[in-house]
Copies of this chain bind each other. A is one copy, B any other.
């Protein structure tokens, strides 16, 4: 772990850079990898030597944007809105985003009580058309509810149509969901989903690359899709017309070696044509949550050991550790009892319970939660559950 001062510096430099470069800018990603975020930020703000592969004109534009950036104020505004900035190297950073190479986000703005890294380990993207059919909305909601009930996290883009149905399906099942936005996470988009995105921020996570207040653009929507693809174990496309944005997510997922899945629909439906196109290629046909879990479950159950030192109990966030301690040694407890004992709100307790479930510490039984056998054993011999 880095020391706090070093981490804070890196964080400020990265926040500054999110005001200067667009998401997915691989040249900027390369600079940061080669010179470090601090050196790139310094050259931009203090007039250091121009970085390789950039024209003088472009450099001047970037320097002008850097001069206007107020990373400290951005962080303060974010903190005010309950938003944190998670960087590569942080305990909450989802390691699988590193698969994006130099297109890896500089950092992610995160709003919500859960831990992004743990949630992402056990997540599936459910995406699709904005102007979906009743059938598509039904399938997205049912799939998402089924995944959530099995302890999986449903990731989507917060948009109208399939995305919204997927988020609502997960929330409705009392489950975990993450919205990855193409704008500042303090600035819900679309406006009609302000309430939904607010609920996701309370019960799940709202995530994005763009700094507070930034607005979405067509390019930003497309580049956002690479984050959804990289974050998750697989992407399910529910409905998509030919040349739809969801197909971009699906193809990004394929390139990253993630599973791509598609829900079939009537051959006569233009909104299933894009999905059928995928299904003629590498994508696998799925019709319910069990189909999805059969596929993503095959990819090796959790195996967080390989992901780094996140598992041991003493590396859990204190509040999460408190929720874990609030579970009875035997039998189940209801979330409200657990919340009371952990001195937190029920919503917060539920989010942390799902996080603990993703780690293998707890299981859900109907409305109750209990420690897993492995968790009970790990208390005895001080190990993380295996």
* Chain A interface residues (CB < 8 Å from chain B): 135, 138-139, 263-268, 272-273, 276, 279-280, 284-288, 291
A266 to B239, CA, bound (A): 11
B284→A135 contact, CB < 8 A: no
B268, B272, B284: the one within 8 Å of A280 (CB): B284
A139 to B276, CA, bound (A): 15
B139, B268, B287: the one within 8 Å of A139 (CB): B268
A267→B268 contact, CB < 8 A: no
Q: Which residues of B contact A264 (CB under 8 A)?
A: 264-267, 272, 276, 279, 285
Closest B residue to A263 using CB positions:
B267
CB distance from A36 to the nearest CB of B (A): 47
Closest B residue to A264 using CB positions:
B264
A83 to B336, CA, bound (A): 79
Which 4 pairs between the two chains have the least Cβ-Cβ distance? A264-B264, A267-B287, A279-B285, A280-B285
Q: A264-B279, A276-B287 are in contact. List 8 more A-B contacts (CB 8 A).
A: A265-B266, A266-B266, A267-B288, A273-B287, A276-B285, A279-B285, A280-B291, A285-B285
A263 to B285, CA, bound (A): 12
A286 to B276, CA, bound (A): 8
Q: What DSSP secondary structure best describes chain A's contact surface?
A: mixed
Q: Which residues of B contact A267 (CB under 8 A)?
A: 139, 263-265, 286-288
A353 to B134, CA, bound (A): 47
A202 to B286, CA, bound (A): 43
Closest B residue to A291 using CB positions:
B280
CB distance from A103 to the nearest CB of B (A): 31
A276 to B266, CA, bound (A): 12
CB distance from A140 to the nearest CB of B (A): 11
Q: Which residues of B contact A285 (CB under 8 A)?
A: 264, 276, 279-280, 285
A268 to B288, CA, bound (A): 9
A263 to B279, CA, bound (A): 12
Q: Which residues of B contact A288 (CB under 8 A)?
A: 267
Closest B residue to A275 using CB positions:
B264
| Residue among A265, A267, A273, A280 with most chain B CB within 10 A | A267
A267 to B140, CA, bound (A): 11
B268→A135 contact, CB < 8 A: yes
CB distance from A149 to the nearest CB of B (A): 18
Q: Which residues of B contact A139 (CB under 8 A)?
A: 267-268
Residue pairs across A and B with Cβ atoms less than 8 A apart, 12 shown, are: A135-B266, A263-B267, A264-B264, A264-B279, A264-B285, A265-B267, A266-B266, A267-B288, A276-B285, A279-B279, A280-B291, A285-B285
CB distance from A84 to the nearest CB of B (A): 38
A279 to B287, CA, bound (A): 11
Closest B residue to A138 using CB positions:
B268
CB distance from A119 to the nearest CB of B (A): 26
| Residue among A138, A264, A268, A291 with most chain B CB within 10 A | A264
A268 to B267, CA, bound (A): 14
Q: Which residues of B contact A135 (CB under 8 A)?
A: 266, 268
Q: Which residues of B contact A284 (CB under 8 A)?
A: 280
| Residue among A273, A276, A279, A287 with most chain B CB within 10 A | A287
CB distance from A241 to the nearest CB of B (A): 13
CB distance from A132 to the nearest CB of B (A): 13
CB distance from A150 to the nearest CB of B (A): 18
Closest B residue to A143 using CB positions:
B267
